[in-house]
Structure 1
C-alpha cells in the first residue's frame, strides 16, 4: 500500500534511521535555514524541529534529501518505472467488440484505479480556520537578504480555465501580511499559463496552496509532466492508486484529503507588487520583479499539522535528489519520441535546468543534432541551456567520461551549435534578458566520413581479453 500522508512518511523515515528530531527551540527566522543548509550539504538526515519559537507547529525539512528517502517515500528502487507506466498506457489499444472489451477489462481497470476519488471529508478538514492567516504558520526566512518569509514547498493547485485539467506546481510565495502573498509564477510554468488565460478575460484565478501530502503527490507537483496530463492522475500513476481529494471551502478546487494544511484564495492580475530578492537554487539572489498577489480566503488543516519546507541555494541541496528522480522517471518518455536515446543525465551541479547529457545509439550522420533539436522542443527541456550528446559507450553519469568524450570526439568549429534568442529559465543569472537567451549544443559522438571526418578513426585502447581473464582468476594471489 502507498504511503498515505506526511505523518506516515515521517514514521517510515524514523524507522529507517533517516530522521533526526530536534527538541531544542529554534527560530524560523534564518536559524532553521542555517541548520538545514549545513545538514543538506553534509548529506545528513531529514530533520523534524518540534520546538519552533512563537509557533505550535513542528517543521519538517530535508525530507527528500537523499535517494534512499525518495525510495522509501515513493516505494520503488527503479524510478524509470513511473515513466514506463505512462508509456505503456499510451500504447494501450482501445477495445472494439464486446469480447475484445471483456478481454481488455483488466487493463482498463488500471485507468480507473489511478483516477482521484472525491470524498466529503478528510484529515485536512479536521480544522476550518474562522479567521484565515499566514501568521500561525512557521514560514521560514531562508537567507539574510531575502525580502521576507517565503513558502518554498507549497503545492499550488489550479485548474485550466477552459479544459478543467488540474495542475500542481511548486512556486515560491513571499508573505506580505497575514492574508497576502506574492505568487512567483514563472512565465513558462503551467500555473502561469492558467493565470494568463484568466488575466486575458480580466478575471482572478482561484488557487490553493497545499502544505504537506504523501510523497507521491509532492513529487507529482514538482514533476514536469506532459502537457494535458492531469497532475492528480499523474499522482495516481506514481502511487499505483488514485489519491483521495476533498473540496475547498472558499474556492472551487479539489485538494488532497491527506494534506497537512491547505491555504485557499485567489490571484488577482490587477494587484501586482514587487517580489524578491530571494536566494534561489542557482546559488544567486534573484532580483526584485513584479508578480501578482495571492489573497488568502480560507484555511483547512489537520488538528496537529506538520509544516513541510525546504531551502534552496547553491547546489547540491535537497532539490537535487528530487531532480534526479525526475530525470530517471522521464527517461522512458524521452525514448518514446527519440528511440535512439540510451541514457540521460542532468547534473545536479548545473541546477538541472542548466545542462543535460544524452547518450545515443548513433546510426546516421547528424543524428546527435537531430536529438538536440527534438529535446529542445519537449516541455521544460526547452529551458535547458547546454546539451551534450555522446555515444552509447559513454557513461552520462560520470562527468570524467563525458569530458573525455568532449575532448576526444568533438571539434569546436564542427561540433558545436549556438542558437540565439531562445527561451531560458526565468532564474538564469547569465541570460542577457529575463526569459530570453541562447543555447549551446555539443556533438561529442564519434564522427564518420559522411559527417566530413577525413581521417581514419583511431582505435580505442583496450586490455587484452585473455590477460584480463588471467588476472581476474588470480587477483586474490596478488595481495592487492
Structure 2
C-alpha cells in the first residue's frame, strides 16, 4: 500500500462531523469564555479572518444565556478565506490546489443524486420540537452583526427551502432572515432569486407559501444554495452529487417540505399572501450596508426543531478576507461558470477564477484559455459575462492566456499591463443583471441594472507567432532547484511556476504535468 496516497474517507454526514474534520486539520478555534452575541462575536470573526491561518470559531457560551433550555452554540466563519476548509466541505483533500479544486468541483456539478427521505424517528433534527405558544425566538441567542443593522439576524449561513407552487421542485437558497418578534422573521430576497419567484407565484393566486430554514447546517448546503442552478432541478440533487451519496431529508411537521434530516436547527413557517414588514439594513457582502427595504416577506414560524445543544451557523458579510462568502463563493462560482462552458462546448479553457476579494467573489471573473482561433478570447469574454453561473452582478471579466494562473492576481495584473491595449481590448455591456445591494450604482433607483467591462488581456491572436517572447525559466533548471531546495537552505517550498522556456516555445505547467 502506498502511504503517500490520500485515504478515501466516507462523506461528511452533518455539521458535527464537519467540525471534527476541521479540528483535525487545525482550523477550529474553540472559545469557552462567555461572549456577547451583539457585535462581539461578529467582531471576533471579522478580526480572526484577517489572521493567517484564520480558523473557524466555535463559541460555546453566550452572555445572558447561561440557563437557556435550548443551549445553542455558535459557529462563525465556517469557511473564511480558507481554501482548505472549502475543500473539506466539498469532500476533497484539504491540500488540493485551488484551480484543481475548481476543476473537480466543476466535474461534480455534472452529477445529480436525488435525496433520500427518512422517517422522523431517523432524523436527528427532530430530537426536540417547539410548536404553538412554545415558539419563542428569544430562546435563541440570535446575534446582531454590525452597529447599524436593523435587528438580529439568524442563520446567515443557512439553507432556506421553498417549493415551486407550479412544478413542485424544491429550492435551497441562502437568504438573510431578521428576527421581527418571538415567532416572525423577515426574509430578504434579491430580484430574480428562486424563492422570490415562488412567493410571487403563490401570492398572485392569493395563496400562502410554505417555507423552512435550517439555521445550523452542514456547510455544503451554503455552498450549493448560493449558486444559480436550473429552476427545474433541486439543490438537494447537486449536494448529493458533490457528496457522492443521497442527502437524507425528512418531511416537515407543519409543512410538506423536505428538510435536511441531519440539520442542527430548522424552522418551519408560512408566508401568508402579501404579509410584509420593514426589514434591514444589514451589513452585506459588498462591505457596505444594504439598502433598507420598506417591506419584505414576513415568515410566520409554525415549528422549531433542533438537536440537543444545537450549533447555529453564522456567516459574516464584510470586506475581504473577513467576508464569509468570499472564499467558498469564489470556488463554487468559478466551477459553475466552467461547467457552463463545458455545456456550451467551448474549447481551450484552462482555468476560471472569481476573485474572492472582488465583492464576495461576485465582482470579477478571470478566465485562462489557450487561444485556438480568431475571436476565441472575445467569445469567451462575452459568454463568461452572461452564462447562468456568471451573469449576476459581475462587473469585470478578464481573459488571460494559458501561461497565466487566474488565481494569482499578480500574474493577472501583469498580463493586463503587458498584453491589453485598452483602446482595442476593452468593451462595455450595459443594462446587465445586477443587485439592489450594489453601492456603486446611483441614484439607487437605477438598481438592479448594472454594467460589465470585458478585458482581453491575452496576447493579440493575429500576432501570436511574433508576439514578444516572455522571460521564463528553463524547466531543467527549475527541476534541479526543486531537488536542491532544502539542501540550499532556501525557505519554505519552491513556488509553483506555470510557464517554462524551451527551444521552440514556452510550455505551461498544469496539475503537476508539463504540456506543450
Q: Provide TM-score, normalisation by structure 1.
A: 0.87
Alignment of 1:34 with 2:39, yes or no, is no
Q: Kindly report which structure 2 residues correspond to 1:130-145, keeping only aligned pairs within 5 A, or say none.
A: 130=131, 131-145=134-148
Higher fraction of helix: 1
Q: Kindly report which structure 2 residues correspond to 1:57-68, keeping only aligned pairs within 5 A, or say none.
A: 57-65=72-80, 66-68=82-84
Give how far 1:355 is off.
0.7
Give how far 1:213 is off.
2.6
What's the counterpart of residue 507 of structure 2?
none
Describe the shift of the 1:26–1:462 C-alpha distance in structure 2 as closer, same or farther (beyond 3 A): closer
Q: Kindly report which structure 2 residues correspond to 1:438-453, keeping only aligned pairs within 5 A, or say none.
A: 438-449=451-462
Alignment of 1:120 with 2:115, yes or no, is no
Alignment of 1:376 with 2:385, yes or no, is yes
Instruction: Identify which range, 366-375 or 24-33, moves more after superposition.
Output: 366-375
Q: Distance in 1 between matches of 2:353 and 2:109?
A: 20
Q: Is the 8 A contact 2:227 2:389 kept in 1?
A: no
Give how far 1:419 is off.
1.5
Instruction: Identify which range, 77-86 or 398-407, moves more after superposition.
Output: 77-86
What's the counterpart of residue 502 of structure 2?
none
Q: Distance in 1 between matches of 2:127 and 2:347?
A: 49
What's the counterpart of residue 281 of structure 1?
285
Q: Kindly report which structure 2 residues correspond to 1:460-475, keeping only aligned pairs within 5 A, or say none.
A: 460-462=470-472
Give how far 1:177 is off.
0.9
Alignment of 1:353 with 2:362, yes or no, is yes
Q: Is the 8 A contact 2:42 2:146 kept in 1?
A: yes
Q: Is the 8 A contact 2:371 2:461 kept in 1?
A: no
Describe the shift of the 1:280–1:120 C-alpha distance in structure 2 as closer, same or farther (beyond 3 A): same
Q: Kindly report which structure 2 residues correspond to 1:323-402, keeping only aligned pairs within 5 A, or say none.
A: 323-327=329-333, 329-330=335-336, 331-337=338-344, 338-350=346-358, 351-383=360-392, 384-402=394-412
Describe the shift of the 1:467–1:267 C-alpha distance in structure 2 as closer, same or farther (beyond 3 A): closer
Q: Distance in 1 between matches of 2:163 and 2:237?
A: 13
Q: Kindly report which structure 2 residues correspond to 1:52-451, keeping only aligned pairs within 5 A, or say none.
A: 52-55=62-65, 56-65=71-80, 66-77=82-93, 79=101, 80-87=103-110, 114-121=114-121, 122-130=123-131, 131-151=134-154, 152-289=156-293, 290-317=295-322, 318-327=324-333, 329-330=335-336, 331-337=338-344, 338-350=346-358, 351-383=360-392, 384-432=394-442, 433-449=446-462
Describe the shift of the 1:332–1:373 C-alpha distance in structure 2 as closer, same or farther (beyond 3 A): same
Give how far 1:253 is off.
0.5
Give how far 1:255 is off.
0.2
Give how far 1:456 is off.
5.4
Residue 125 of structure 2 aligns to a residue in which SS?
Answer: helix
Give how far 1:404 is off.
1.6
Give how far 1:312 is off.
1.2
Q: Distance in 2 between matches of 1:477 and 1:53?
A: 53
The number of residues matched between the two structures is 454
Q: Distance in 2 between matches of 1:292 and 1:467?
A: 63
Residue 234 of structure 1 aligns to a residue in which SS?
Answer: helix
Q: Distance in 2 between matches of 1:260 and 1:223?
A: 22
Q: Is the 8 A contact 1:114 1:243 kept in 2?
A: yes
Q: Distance in 1 between matches of 2:384 and 2:464?
A: 29
Q: Provide TM-score, normalisation by structure 2.
A: 0.81
Q: Is the 8 A contact 1:133 1:296 kept in 2?
A: no
Describe the shift of the 1:408–1:126 C-alpha distance in structure 2 as closer, same or farther (beyond 3 A): same
Q: Distance in 2 between matches of 1:399 and 1:162?
A: 45
Q: Is the 8 A contact 1:269 1:293 kept in 2?
A: no
Q: Distance in 1 between matches of 2:147 and 2:38?
A: 9
Give how far 1:455 is off.
11
Give how far 1:83 is off.
2.7
After superposition, give the CA deviation of every residue in 1:62-89 in whole Å (9 maximum; x if it has no partner): 22232222333333135333331343x5
What's the counterpart of residue 94 of structure 1?
none
Instruction: Identify which range, 55-64 or 214-223, moves more after superposition.
Output: 214-223
Give the unaligned 5+ runs of structure 1: 90-110
Describe the shift of the 1:260–1:199 C-alpha distance in structure 2 as closer, same or farther (beyond 3 A): same
Q: Distance in 1 between matches of 2:130 and 2:38?
A: 25
Give the unaligned 5+ runs of structure 2: 1-9, 66-70, 491-516
What's the counterpart of residue 3 of structure 2?
none
After superposition, give the CA deviation of every residue in 1:129-173 in whole Å (9 maximum; x if it has no partner): 032222111111011111110121221001111111111111001
